[in-house]
Structures are given as structure tokens and as C-alpha cells.
Amino acid sequence: MSYQAFYRKLRPARFADIIGQEHVVTTLRNQLMSRRVAHAYLFVGTRGTGKTSMAKIFARAINCEASDKGEPCGICPACAASRSGASANVLEIDAASNNSVDNIRELRDEIQHAPISGVYKVLIIDEVHMLSTGAFNALLKTLEEPPAHVYFILATTEAQKIPATILSRCQRFDFRRVSPREMTAALRGYMDGEGVRVTDDALDYVAELSDGAMRDALSLLDRAASLYGGTEITRGMLRDLMGAVDGEVYVRLTAALQTGDNRACLGIIDEAAAQGRDITQFVNEYVRHLRGLMITASADASPELAGIVRFLTHFAELAAGLRHSVNERVSLEVACIKLCLPQAAPPLQAAQEGSAPAKAPAQAPTATKAAPAAAKQQNTPAVPEDVQLAIRNFGALAERLKMPVKKMLRDSTPRYTGGDCLTIAADEGSVATLERNKGAIKAELAAMFKKDIDVVIVSASGLAGGKHSTLSARNTREHIAEVFGEDIVEFS
């Protein structure tokens, strides 16, 4: 038997097998059971979210001779013919390659004839937005007065390109991206069923890379299974397969950008290129890294968010433009150097921590005004360099841990409360779990910075009212100014 790719072999055969589209499944089942099926449907959503699979299952259910609660039975002659692709009652075309007026006219002539077996004919047009203007006009005539035995299911990734006259004659269903949690659970079931060994963090990584597209996730795992054979697939293997780099590289790149060290930036890019890493993948991964930091920083709505947004905006624009770049590496190098130039936007005070740029004074400060600030900085105990690194990279640290520790760290706040340790102020309900996983947190810190950094877990409420109250009771702006000796501008 010829080999079948995972995304084809594991294609859903029933409504119950569809992942993440319960809102669509429920409505279609109800319509089938109540015999209130519309004559035309439009399925809209990004690639790999199940539009075509849903269309095929719905088409099968319409002609099923023994459906149960809207589900196609899968064994009657109509279902069997449809699953094997031999059904004359289910017509499927790809508008990307069949988009002319003649193609639609041929289909229109075909559906005028009643089905030889069964009761209904179902026409599925994938990527319908690719039809020409003339083809849309030809289709419109049939949609206006459809034969009683015909149903239309149109699928598209770009609904905005479809004429309003077509849209108004269809029931529209928007397909959501599959959530990481749903995708990871589904992938675990698929891989166990196929006998493919893969670690949990590798599946998390696949869900992250696929961005809600199940087909992309299955294709990536298919490639990994073919390359690594019977070996257990790990996150590192997938990074190598995708040409990605370890998260520590992005920590170093951000540190170089924050200090304006363009030589270090170019060295990091050269290192990635020498290892054969894909530049587009490198930039996309870095955008995801910065997004993780942004989400962490936005939880407290602190001023530090502005700095991260500046970096994220810069590299997101670069990622969008790389497809048109003549030399992707040069584009990345130029983007980094621009951020390092003095005339660029004010340097990020703490890129990984996400602090905002320092406020520029309206006029040169006098010695009298500068004296109190200098005195305050002298009285502020120096924060150990290791702890500064840990605080500035707290968002990246959270992303390296597994659930539920990852979420708990995202909801926590890194602090310096004295000594040579990182203090993590967490919700009361998270303290016990984080305490049990302190070893894993310290191990990830050591892996990130090649140094042992001690960790203390405390309750955020206890920190505000306990022995550290002199530090933590202040707001974020005052806290940063005191710890790092920097006046941080506030943003509304």
C-alpha cells in the first residue's frame, strides 16, 4: 500500500473528529436533524483549520441513509462512495486552477441533472475567492435560482475578495484557529495512535509553530517522523528540522540591541547563518519571543511595555517584508544596525525586561537638579548582574517552562529584594506549585545564562505587607527607578 501523509490519513471522517470548531459543528448538526439545510454555505478561515474536511463531512451527511444525530454513518453506500472519492453526487473543484467561466458553466450544466443514486448533489468549491469575475457571475446565476437537489459549499481563506452578491446568498461560518491546548491534546492522540514517540514540549513547540493550523502541525510531525525514524522526537530535533535556534540566542540578541552593540548583533546573525539556520525562521521565532515578553509585561500594564512594543513592531515589519527581500540576511543585519544607531529611537533601557525609553529632559539639567537623583542612586544598593539578567529575561524564562508553571510565571512579577537571588512574587494559589518546581526554574535560568541563580518564591500579597514592604509597596515606576537607578517615563 502506498504511503499516506499524516494530514490525509488522519483527516476527520465525522463531525466529532473536527478539532476546535464546535460552533460550526453544532449548527450544521442541528440543521441536518431539523431538515433546515440551506442551499449555499461559505466556510471562511485560515489554512489548515478544517474547512475542506468540514465540507466533505457535511456533504456526506446530507446524503447519508442512516445518519445519527446529524453524523454520517460512514457505512451506507452513499457514505462509502463519498469517502472513497467515487461518489457522483459530491463534486469538488479547486478554484485556484479551475477559475474560468467555462469551468463554472460546465459545473452548472452538470448539476442540472438529478442524481442517479441518492437524493442530492453537493458542489464544493475550494479557494472560491480565486474565481474570475466572469466565473463569479456565472456562479451567481445558479445561486439565485438553484435546483432543488443541489447544495453549494464554498470555502475560502480570503472572504473579502468575494463579491457581495455571492456573500449575501450564503450562510457564512468563520473557522477559528485551533488553540494550542486543543492542538496539543489532538496531536498527542494522533501520534500515540500512529506509534510515533514525541515529547510533550515538542508537541507544544509544534502547536506554537503551526499557529492554529492543524494541517501544518501534522505535516511538520510527518517530516520529523520520517527523518528521525523510531527515535523519540524532541523539541531540539524540531528546531534543527525547521532551521530554528535556541531561545538563548534571542536573549543575547536583545541584550546586544539594548546596548547598541552592532558587532555583537552581526556576530549572532553570522553564527546562525553558519549553522545553516533559515533567516526567515530566525526572524519569525524572534517575533514570537518578543511577543511572549510583551504578554508578560502587559499583565501589569507597566511602562516597560513600550520598549518591548518598539522592538516587536520593528521585527514584525521585517518579517512581513522578508518575502520580498533579495537578500534576507542583509535585511536582518540592516534592521539590527538601525536599532543600534544613536539617531534611531531612544535605546531600550532593558529590552528583555521591557522598560520604556528614558524621558529626554526639556533642557539641560542643572547641577542642583541632578544632585538629588545622583544621591538617590548612590544610596540604592546595586542589583547583582545575574539578578538583573534574570529580571530582564523573565518573560523568556516563563516561555521555557511547561504548563501550568509557564502560566503561573506569566502571572507573576520578578523582583529584587536583596541578596544574590531572584524573588518571584506570585499569586497566593501559585506559591506552592512554583516552590515544588523551583528546581526546574533554576535549571532553566542556568541553561539561559550559564550561571547558577538562586530563586525565592513569595506571595505577592505577602510581599506587599511583609518584610519586603519597603520595596514592593511602591508602584512599578518607582520600583524600577529605585532598583536600577533609572527614571522611567510613564505611558497612559
Please say if the pLDDT value at position 215 is more than 70.
Answer: yes
Question: Per residue in 402-417, pLDDT tens?
Answer: 888 888 888 888 888 7
Matching residue, cell 538617590: 376
Q: What is the pLDDT of residue 278?
A: 86
* pLDDT-derived band at 462, boundaries 50, 70, 90: low
Exposed (0-12), middle (13-18) or buried (19+): which is 428, by Cβ within 10 Å?
exposed
Q: What is the pLDDT of residue 333?
A: 93
Mean pLDDT computed over 10-35: 92
| Mean pLDDT over the full length of the chain | 81
Q: What is the pLDDT of residue 454?
A: 87
Please say if the pLDDT value at position 381 is more than 90.
Answer: no
* pLDDT-derived band at 395, boundaries 50, 70, 90: confident
C-alpha distance from residue 323 to each of 280, 336, 338, 369, 467 (Å): 8, 18, 20, 51, 54
Element (H, E) at 415: strand 413-415
Q: What is the pLDDT of residue 300?
A: 67
Please say if the pLDDT value at position 219 is more than 70.
Answer: yes
Q: What is the pLDDT of residue 119?
A: 82
3-state secondary structure of 346: coil
Mean pLDDT computed over 123-144: 91
Please say if the pLDDT value at position 24 is more than 60.
Answer: yes
Question: Per residue in 446-457, pLDDT tens?
Answer: 888 777 888 889
Q: DSSP letter at 355?
A: B
- Residues 437, 398: Cα–Cα separation, whole Å: 12
Q: What is the pLDDT of residue 291?
A: 87
Q: What is the pLDDT of residue 357?
A: 40
Q: What is the pLDDT of residue 302?
A: 59
Q: What is the pLDDT of residue 349?
A: 46
Choose between 372 and 195: higher pLDDT.
195
Question: Per residue in 291-330, pLDDT tens?
Answer: 887 887 787 665 667 877 888 888 999 998 888 888 999 9
* pLDDT-derived band at 385, boundaries 50, 70, 90: confident
Rounded to a whole number of angstroms, the distance between the first and last alpha carbons of the chain is 63
Please say if the pLDDT value at position 25 is more than 70.
Answer: yes
Exposed (0-12), middle (13-18) or buried (19+): which is 24, by Cβ within 10 Å?
buried
3-state secondary structure of 475: coil
Choose between 78 and 451: higher pLDDT.
78
- Residues 199, 197: Cα–Cα separation, whole Å: 7
Please say if the pLDDT value at position 235 is more than 50.
Answer: yes
Percent of the chain past pLDDT 70, that is, above it, reads: 84
